Amino acid sequence: MPQPLPIQFLSLDLDALAGATGRIAVLAEPDQPTSAGFRKLDRLTRGALARAVASEAFGKLKPGEAMELAWPAGLQAEAVQILRLPKRADVAQARKAGAAVGKAHGTGATLVLAEGHARAADIAFGLALRAYEFDTHKTGEKKPRGPVTVAVTNPEAVARAAAPMAAVAEGVFFTRDLVNEPANVLTTSDFAARLAGMHELGLQVEILEEDELRRLGMGALLGVGQGSESPSKVVVMQWNGGGDEAPFALIGKGVVFDTGGISIKPAAGMEDMTMDMGGAGVVAGVMRTLALRKAKANVVGLVGLVENMPDGRAQRPGDVVRSMKGDTIEVINTDAEGRLVLADVLWYAQERFKPSGMINLATLTGAIIIALGHENAGVFSNNDELCAAFLSAAKAEGEGAWRMPMGDAYDAKLKSRIADMMNVGGRDGGAITAAQFLARFVKPDVPWCHLDIAGTALLKSDSTLAPKGATGWGVMALDRLIRDRFER
């Protein structure tokens, strides 16, 4: 899997700037004092940097954006990238500046003159996240990425601050890799094997196969995958870094490919349904992050892995299945399959682990994209305190999230003539009725959030911190939530 770029933090050698090859990035802000590195580069380029910063074009840049001087006279470097970043920049601005460097980074070396900037670690974090590439399936010679050095005043202190961010970056990369993989590679068995490999990091990983799922009564989950050659599985990942307290549970929908089943989707755009395991991918990325940074908390991650295919054994519209909870569900639309998977895994998590709270993630509905676009995930919750804590964590990490309503009127739309409930409630309020369905499988005393990430898991264009494709949305926010709320 692609690894985040290794980044060195070193003291700045002013005398070496003239001979530095590759790319140099330097920070500046109009009408603010410049750094020693900026002044040295400006002298070497006969005032080119100062003229650039004084220009109207630079003045129009927003914090975190960059201007580039190609092949500047007086330097060996092929380019100097001038980042507009005030000395009191916030986290988002610093990461955006780093991302501008990461986007431009290639096979040559990159030197970032962060010097005494208070957000140097965040600059490096943004650089690492944006430098991600998924080229696993491209043939031809692959040249290694060049080295990255961040020059700072206190390398040891900045390296300590950056270490947990590096763990988060690896978790984000793990999620992006999973979401980007094609379904003929990332089968349910391959997915489970990748998660099992994380036992080397200290996670306890258990794979529940179909026989065990039948014994447990997971008829809702098993019904989704019965038309596929890939066996359905549930993978349980435990990180026990806390004391004796009950774990917090993360639950992910892992539909490795979703044709819609018998209620088949239109052909146009179906290729994107390789990302329908995005919720499970985020859970996996968070668990990897927690293990890498040795989090002082107890967290269990559970993912339901299935494939929704139409064949002679596939689930039909009108079928009735029985969930692990014991409730019966009339399947009106086989393309509303993710909620069936989550229903059983949510109930299993509560029965086995008695968690202190739960958050589930799923690329669940197209309706949430209509409501919120691709800027925010939908947040549904039965607990104001947990919801507020998650929204605060998401805001701190720059991951868009918006709370959506729930209520009895929406819940009534799930009433079935022949079973305890239907799996859909009509087109209107579709994201909300999906959340109401899941809420039926949450015990009344368990704090719970449902995150509908259909609009944020994979994008058709670049975002600030990621190239187009999988974003890894949610890894940073959930890691922050666990750090702020559950670590001792």
- Domain spans of the chain, in order of start: 7-153, 169-485
The whole-angstrom separation of Cα 308 and Cα 303 is: 15
> Which of the four pLDDT bands, split at 50, 70 and 90, describes residue 264?
very high
Q: Is 160 a catalytic residue?
A: no
Classify domain 7-153 at the CATH superfamily level: Leucine Aminopeptidase, subunit E, domain 1 (3.40.220.10)
Q: What angle do CA 391, 370, 342 make, to 5 degrees?
A: 60
**Domain 169-485 coded CATH 3.40.630.10:** yes
Same fold for the domain at 7-153 and the one at 169-485?
no
| 283-339 pLDDT tens trace | 999 999 999 999 999 999 999 999 999 999 999 999 999 999 999 999 999 999 999
> Which of the four pLDDT bands, split at 50, 70 and 90, describes residue 352?
very high
For helices 278-292 and 155-180, what crossing angle results, to 10°? 150
| 175-233 pLDDT tens trace | 999 999 999 999 999 999 999 999 999 999 999 999 999 999 999 999 999 999 999 99
Closest CA to 436 of 339, 334, 322, 321: 339
Q: Is 339 a catalytic residue?
A: yes
Q: In the chain, pLDDT over 70 holds for what percent of residues? A: 100
The whole-angstrom separation of Cα 232 and Cα 390 is: 30
Q: Is the pTM of this model over 0.95?
A: yes
Kindly report each contact of residues 243-246 with a partner whose C-beta sits within 8 Å and lies 24 or more positions away, as own/partner: 243/298, 243/488, 245/298, 245/356, 246/298, 246/353, 246/354, 246/355, 246/356
β-strand partners of 249: 300, 358
Catalytic residue among 40, 339, 413, 440: 339
The whole-angstrom separation of Cα 322 and Cα 430 is: 22
Catalytic residue among 39, 43, 194, 265: 265
The whole-angstrom separation of Cα 148 and Cα 464 is: 19
Q: In the chain, pLDDT over 90 holds for what percent of residues? A: 97
The whole-angstrom separation of Cα 467 and Cα 135 is: 12
Model confidence at 1: pLDDT above 70: no
The whole-angstrom separation of Cα 84 and Cα 234 is: 47
Region for 326 from its dihedrals, namely left if φ exceeds 0, alpha if ψ lies in -120 to 50, beta otherwise: left
Contact indicator for 24, 81 with CB cutoff of 8 Å = yes
